[in-house]
């Protein structure tokens, strides 16, 4: 099996490096850098039409979407997926939840934080900030309270997201948890403890050494 990972700095594609290190599979990396606007380079569309990361070339095919990539390799290797039926269901749920529910309010929060800091004419800034504040008040903050409360409660009841064993659900959830903790770590002790255990795993440390951190330091 020939594996080539297209990895963008500060992105979800760190998940794939981490997974492959956990599985102890051989792979090569093509590193990509974000542009001045923190966007993925347009040339990435030459690898896959979406031009989004991760992109993983496996035996002549290009795999995309991190949850699908994690599931593909876990099933292929027969590792990092729970065998208990209840934990299987939890694992599948968190594979989808990470991007489908947790990431949208985190992304909106990031966009408006950058909007507030962006250079703009002085007479526009109060309007832009007012719009951002209103959306944060009505959507972003309530959504984050709901989802981070759910994540914190989950980790107060079990060691890992799917149950008592590390799985691809933990790899998938890491980016969102790390992004959330970059904003309010002191209020989420179970998330902090889980994050610290994940970053202490040798496979994670090898992945980060090769691909850099998942989330920029503030």
**pLDDT tens per residue, range 101-130:** 999 999 888 776 766 666 767 667 676 676
User: Which residues touch 102 (CB under 8 Å, ≥6 apart)?
Assistant: 147, 151, 173, 176, 180
Angstrom distance (rounded) from CA 9 to CA 12? 9
- The DSSP element (H or E) to which 18 belongs, if any, is helix 14-23
Q: How confident is the model at residue 137 (pLDDT cuts 50, 70, 90)?
A: confident
Residue 21's region, left for phi above 0, alpha for psi from -120 to 50, else beta, is alpha
What is the CATH architecture of 3-77?
3-Layer(aba) Sandwich (3.40)
Residue 145: is its pLDDT beyond 80?
yes
CB 81 within 8 A of CB 94: no
Which pLDDT does position 119 carry in this prediction?
A: 72
How many residues appear in the chain?
Answer: 218
Angstrom distance (rounded) from CA 121 to CA 137? 24
Give me the CATH topology for the region 85-201: Glutathione S-transferase Yfyf (Class Pi); Chain A, domain 2 (1.20.1050)
163-174: average pLDDT: 97
Q: What is the dihedral of CA 75, 78, 83, 88, to 10 degrees?
A: -20
Q: How confident is the model at residue 215 (pLDDT cuts 50, 70, 90)?
A: confident
What DSSP character marks residue 57?
A: E
Pick from 149, 201, 214: nearest CA to 23: 201
Lowest mean pLDDT segment, chosen from 5-14, 36-45, 70-79, 124-133: 124-133
Angstrom distance (rounded) from CA 185 to CA 187? 6
61-81: average pLDDT: 97
13-26: average pLDDT: 97
Domain layout of the chain by residue ranges = 3-77, 85-201
Which pLDDT does position 107 carry in this prediction?
A: 85
Angstrom distance (rounded) from CA 16 to CA 14? 5
Q: How confident is the model at residue 39 (pLDDT cuts 50, 70, 90)?
A: confident
Bridge-partner residues for 56, per DSSP?
5, 63
Lowest mean pLDDT segment, chosen from 50-59, 131-140, 208-217: 131-140
Task: Look up the pTM and report it.
Answer: 0.88
- The DSSP element (H or E) to which 6 belongs, if any, is strand 3-8
- Token duo for residue 91: 């694992």
């Amino acid at each position: 099996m020939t594996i080539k990972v297209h990895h963008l700095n500060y992105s979800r594609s760190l998940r794939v490096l981490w997974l492959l290190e956990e599985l102890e599979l051989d792979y090569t990396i093509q590193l990509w850098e974000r542009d001045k606007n923190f966007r993925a380079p347009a040339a990435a569309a030459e690898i896959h039409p979406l031009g989004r990361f991760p992109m993983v070339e496996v035996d002549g095919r290009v795999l995309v979407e991190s949850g699908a990539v994690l599931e593909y390799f876990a099933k292929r290797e027969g590792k990092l997926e729970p065998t208990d039926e209840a934990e299987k269901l939890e694992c599948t749920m968190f594979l989808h939840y990470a991007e489908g529910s947790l990431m949208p309010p985190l992304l909106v929060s990031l966009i408006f934080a950058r909007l507030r800091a962006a250079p703009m004419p002085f007479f526009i800034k109060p309007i832009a900030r007012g719009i951002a504040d209103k959306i944060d008040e009505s959507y972003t903050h309530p959504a984050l309270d709901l989802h981070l409360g759910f994540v914190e409660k989950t980790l107060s009841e079990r060691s890992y997201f799917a149950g008592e064993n590390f799985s691809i659900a933990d790899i998938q959830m890491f980016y969102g948890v790390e992004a959330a903790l970059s904003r309010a770590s002191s209020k989420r002790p179970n998330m902090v403890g889980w994050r610290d255990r994940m970053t202490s795993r040798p496979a994670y440390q090898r992945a980060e050494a090769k691909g850099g951190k998942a989330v920029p330091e503030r």
